[in-house]
Each structure stands twice: as structure tokens, then as C-alpha cells.
């Protein structure tokens, strides 16, 4: 039995589809009101018929902070993929991305040790590698540096990794993946998938920064390969390509058949924008589209080095532009439905 946390999320749903196709029995955690049909929707995007495999999937409603409920999910489990985490750059969610994310990972690690699971694959983020000077390659060997450029999300991911490393000192067989921005079809109004919706609604502006992006299917496949390998106590940057935000938005616009954002926003306007969003949040309670952290990060240029995972697994990533064009098609199809 394989345990997957965050089973209804972008990564978790794609991972489950891949594991089911391999004939594995899956137990997936979800919250009480989660939409379990996400799995079927994910499979449908790629014309995959899951009906022969669904008997091998069971759902376990469990808050990862509830150790009693979570303990039930570990019964009979051999392998664990920990994908669940709160992703937010809104200051009002600081407890969720710091304390709660770390506590849930600690619970997962402790139960994995107690239940003597075979292997634990933990989903972290390139954010946990810290923010080195701009225009410098960031890889797995990068040391965490305290910086005003580190978001609460990054701090939470870094602290969660420490829990996993602590577990390895107590006998846990674990490996960590550090994905860049993961793209794929999901809820078009949340997470990275919302970028497609934002461009589709007529986004006019782009920032001068750059980042790394990766197809969700590549992340899932790398996690599976690492689970099946003899590799242990290592972490891997999982990033397909480093591109500017301008280029990334142009890819989306091409896939949607609409004009690309054409007006560059400098640091001054970005600073004004996040402050206006913060004020709107205070007045209306509506979560800001732009926060101080996202506004400043979008002006920075960072490069992530994926050579370790390519060499270790012989892995070749999907072409980023082709992935974006395919996801844009999924968005168009959903918009017509």
C-alpha cells in the first residue's frame, strides 16, 4: 500500500494517476470537503481511462495536524509520498505556511518511523534553498541564508526539510524533491494554474524577473523513480527550464491565441501595487492577488540548476513551451465546457 498526502492537489492528483496506472494500491489523504473527482478530471485531460484501476484507490479523510486520524492512514503502508502543504504568500496565512506545514511534516515523519515504512519521498520547494545573489545558479548544495527575500512559505519549507533530515537520523529512509514552479491543469483560479486564467482575462503587464518552471508530470515521474531507486538522504532540484516571466506569459498567450502582456512593470509600480492590494484586503477581507513577497520576487532573477537529477536518473524534462501550450489547450477546453 502506498500513501499519498494531498491527493486532490495538482501534484498529488497527477502522482496518483501515474501510480494507479502502475497497478499499485493507493491510500490518499484529503480534507473533509475535498473534491475527490479531481483524480478523474486529471486523468481525463490526458485521455486516460482509470476505471480499471479505481478499485485500488481508497480515500482517508485526515487533517495532517490530527495525529490520531493520520495514524489510521499509515496502517499497512510501505511507501509514503508527502505532497500536502499550504502554499500561500499572504501574510495573513503565516501560521499555516510556517507552524502548520512544519508540524504536519513532523507528524508524517514520526509516523513513518513508528510504522517502519520502506521509503519516504518528501515534496519541498526550491524556495527552501534560500535566495542567493541574483544571476547565480542555485542547486542542492546551496546553504540557507537568512534574508528579507525569503518568504514565510520558504521558511516553512526549509523548516519542514529539517524535520525530514531529523527523521533520517532516526532511521528514516527518505529523499527530498525541490520543485520549481509546478505547472499543469488544475483549479484555474488557484495556485500556479491561475496564471493561465489571469492571462486569459487580459493581463497587460509583466515584470522583469525570471524563475524556473516544470511540468507536473515530470515532478510526479521523478518522485516515482526516486522512490524505486536506492537513493537515500539526498535532495534534488526539479526544474525544467529557467525563463523570464515575460517569456512564460508569452507562451501562455500563444497557447490561448490572445495578445501577450506587453507593458513592463518596474519595481516602483510593483511596490505601489502590493500596497494597494494590502489596503483592499484590509477593507474588504478579499485575499490579495499581489503580496509584498510575490511583487518583490517577480522582479528578481534566479536560476536553478537541474543537472543533479538529470545525471542521477538519466532524466530528460519535457520542453517547457510545449507543456505550456498543452496546458493552455486544456484551459480553453474547460472554458468551453
Give the model confidence (pLDDT) of 143-174 as tens digits.
Answer: 787 776 677 778 888 889 999 999 999 999 99
Tens digits of residue pLDDT in 241-258: 999 999 999 999 999 999
The arithmetic mean of pLDDT across residues 325-336, rounded, is: 95
Domains and CATH numbers, the chain: 2-184+211-241+303-320 (3.40.50.720)
Lowest mean pLDDT among 115-129, 200-214, 300-314: 200-214
The arithmetic mean of pLDDT across residues 320-335, rounded, is: 96
Q: Name the grid cell of 69.
A: 486520524
pLDDT of 225 above 70? yes
The pLDDT score that the predictor gives to residue 274 is 45
The strand pair at 119-123 and 79-82 is best described as parallel
In sequence order, which residues have a C-beta less than 8 Å from that of residue 91 and are 6 or more positions away?
A: 152, 291, 292
In the chain, the percentage of residues whose pLDDT exceeds 70 is: 84
Average pLDDT, the chain: 87
Please give the backbone phi and psi of residue 326, each rounded to the nearest 5 degrees, phi first.
Answer: -70, -45
pLDDT of 34 above 90? no
pLDDT of 72 above 70? yes
CA distance 1 to 118: 11
Tens digits of residue pLDDT in 57-71: 999 988 888 898 899
The arithmetic mean of pLDDT across residues 283-303, rounded, is: 68
pTM of structure: 0.92
Binning the chain into helix, strand and coil, the percentages to the nearest 5 are 45, 15, 35
Neighbours of 47 (CB within 10 A): 6
Collapsing DSSP to helix, strand or coil, 249 comes out as helix
Amino acid at each position: 500500500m502506498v500513501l499519498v498526502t494531498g491527493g486532490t492537489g495538482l501534484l498529488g492528483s497527477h502522482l496518483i494517476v501515474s501510480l494507479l496506472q502502475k497497478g499499485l494500491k493507493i491510500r490518499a489523504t484529503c480534507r473533509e470537503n475535498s473534491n475527490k473527482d479531481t483524480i478523474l478530471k486529471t486523468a481525463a485531460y490526458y485521455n486516460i481511462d482509470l476505471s480499471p484501476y479505481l478499485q485500488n484507490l481508497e480515500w482517508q479523510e485526515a487533517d495532517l495536524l490530527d495525529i490520531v486520524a493520520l495514524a489510521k492512514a499509515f496502517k499497512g503502508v510501505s511507501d509514503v509520498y508527502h505532497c500536502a502543504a499550504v502554499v500561500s504568500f499572504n501574510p495573513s496565512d503565516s501560521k499555516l505556511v510556517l507552524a502548520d506545514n512544519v508540524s504536519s511534516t513532523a507528524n508524517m515523519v514520526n509516523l513513518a518511523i513508528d510504522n517502519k515504512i520502506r521509503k519516504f519521498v518528501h515534496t519541498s520547494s526550491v524556495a527552501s534553498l534560500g535566495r542567493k545573489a541574483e544571476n547565480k545558479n542555485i542547486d542542492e548544495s546551496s546553504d540557507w541564508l537568512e534574508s528579507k527575500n525569503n518568504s514565510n512559505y520558504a521558511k516553512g519549507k526549509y523548516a519542514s526539510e529539517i524535520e525530514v533530515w531529523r527523521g533520517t537520523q532516526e532511521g528514516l529512509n527518505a529523499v527530498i524533491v525541490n520543485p520549481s514552479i509546478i505547472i499543469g491543469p488544475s483549479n484555474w483560479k488557484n495556485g500556479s494554474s491561475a496564471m493561465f486564467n489571469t492571462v486569459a482575462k487580459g493581463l497587460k503587464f509583466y515584470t522583469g524577473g525570471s524563475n524556473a518552471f516544470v511540468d507536473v508530470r515530470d515532478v510526479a515521474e521523478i518522485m516515482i523513480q526516486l522512490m524505486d531507486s536506492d537513493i537515500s538522504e539526498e535532495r534534488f532540484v526539479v526544474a525544467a527550464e529557467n525563463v523570464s516571466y515575460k517569456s512564460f506569459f508569452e507562451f501562455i498567450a500563444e497557447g490561448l491565441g490572445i495578445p501577450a502582456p506587453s507593458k513592463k512593470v518596474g519595481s516602483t509600480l510593483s511596490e505601489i501595487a502590493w500596497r494597494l492590494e494590502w489596503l483592499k484586503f484590509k477593507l474588504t477581507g478579499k485575499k490579495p492577488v499581489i503580496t509584498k513577497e510575490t511583487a518583490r520576487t517577480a522582479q528578481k532573477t534566479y536560476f536553478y540548476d537541474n543537472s543533479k537529477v538529470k545525471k542521477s536518473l538519466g532524466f530528460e524534462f519535457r520542453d517547457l513551451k510545449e507543456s505550456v501550450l498543452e496546458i493552455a489547450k486544456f484551459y480553453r477546453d474547460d472554458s468551453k465546457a
